[in-house]
Chains A and B, each alone.
Chain A
Amino acid sequence: MAIEDGKKLRDHGLQSERLLWPTKGPGVFEQEVAAMEQAVGLTTLEKAVAWAQSKSMWPDTFGLACCAIEMMSIVSSRYDIARFGMEAFRSSPRQADLLIVSGRVVHKMAAPLRQVYDQMLEPKWVIAMGACASSGGMFNNYTTLQGVDKIVAVDVHVPGCPPRPEALMEGIVRLHEKVMAGIPPAYEIRGVAS
């Protein structure tokens, strides 16, 4: 095990999988982010803006189903999203930066989801939390939208049913890494209406 005696887990920083597999090099995601960072070549001002955007990205209260419970638990003191400056969940989409779609979306809910997404101001990011938001999950039937990326542009998909709070935070941290690298939000990449 790479966890040295006497050192607590928190002394190693937030490096979960790299801690357990010390021989693991940067994965595909990290390599892409590093390549993007080199390719984009942010100016100091853009880097500062990206830093500010990622350090206080307020989520919107869009808890739909069971994943919402896990999303609520990251605000608790054990998992503590406040250390990322994100404990301020805004009910108004006008004041929110991040839309965490947590839960299954039925066709009837798809219209309000799109409406809330449209009401958010640029720049805005979307995390599809859980299996149901990413792909319809276990509900492959006439009611459920098979993946929320059919109607909004998703930046990060977080797998799980529901994803543990740590898994959701990994998704959030990866989104922050994307923002800091200068990758534009998903609606700009895909060229869709935002």
Chain B
Amino acid sequence: MEVHEAHGETTVVVDTPRLVDAALHLRDELGFNFLSDVAATDYLGWGAKGVSGYIGTARGRDLNEPATQGHQRLPRQKPHRFSVSYHLLGMRAGAPRVRLQAWVEDGEHVPSLVGVWPTADWHEREAFDLMGIRFDGHPNERRILMDDDWEGHPLRKDYPIGGEPVRFSGEE
């Protein structure tokens, strides 16, 4: 477990097995009783050179290719590419905020915090739908934004934008 502090914000990084204990400690002993957000972030290609920039490939931009979201080439897979951040707020004078963060691999399961803060229900469903992070113990783990039978997780960095090729009137 580590504690970072940057830009006036405190981040507590824990391992996924101890996530529920850390959450209960933060809620009960330290009084962070309000979960304001659950953010799942994909760090694939983060900081690597030549990865972001022109949205397309050297051959042009085909919306259904994987490398069309700012990657010049498909970045190499990295361990622990996802971070799940729980943004907590203490509802008292001073309104202290803290971020509880866990780093997970692709396919690794995260214990669900629905028992600690019930509002995590829909936030974790969104993280599952758009990033593919599975939550153990979630009462209702199914897609929330995409269609129920959608394949893939759209907000991952290697998911294409999709869409149709545009035809212009007047071109042959």
- Chain A residues engaging chain B, CB cutoff 8 angstroms: 107-108, 136, 140-144, 146
Contacts and interface: CB of A to CB of B under 8 A. Distances in A.
Majority SS at the chain B contact face: loop
Interface in B7-64: 63
Contacts of B161: 140-142
Interface string B145-172: 1110000001000001111101000000
B154 A142 contact: yes
Contacts of A136: 163-164
Contacts, number: 26
| Majority-rule SS of A interface residues | loop
Given A107-B147, A108-B146, A108-B147, A146 B164 contact: yes
A144 B163 CA distance: 8
**Those 7 A-B pairs whose CB atoms lie nearest each other, nearest first:** A142-B162, A140-B163, A141-B163, A146-B164, A141-B161, A141-B162, A108-B147
Interface of B: 63, 145-147, 154, 160-164, 166
B34 to A, nearest CB: 30
Contacts of B162: 141-143
A148 to B, nearest CB: 14
A136 B164 CA distance: 10
A142 B163 contact: yes
Contacts of B160: 142
Contacts of B154: 142-143
Given A140-B63, A141-B63, A143-B162, 8 more contacts: A108-B145, A136-B163, A140-B164, A140-B166, A141-B161, A142-B162, A142-B163, A144-B163
25 contacts: A107-B147, A108-B145, A108-B146, A108-B147, A136-B163, A136-B164, A140-B63, A140-B161, A140-B163, A140-B164, A140-B166, A141-B63, A141-B161, A141-B162, A141-B163, A142-B160, A142-B161, A142-B162, A142-B163, A143-B146, A143-B154, A143-B162, A144-B163, A146-B163, A146-B164
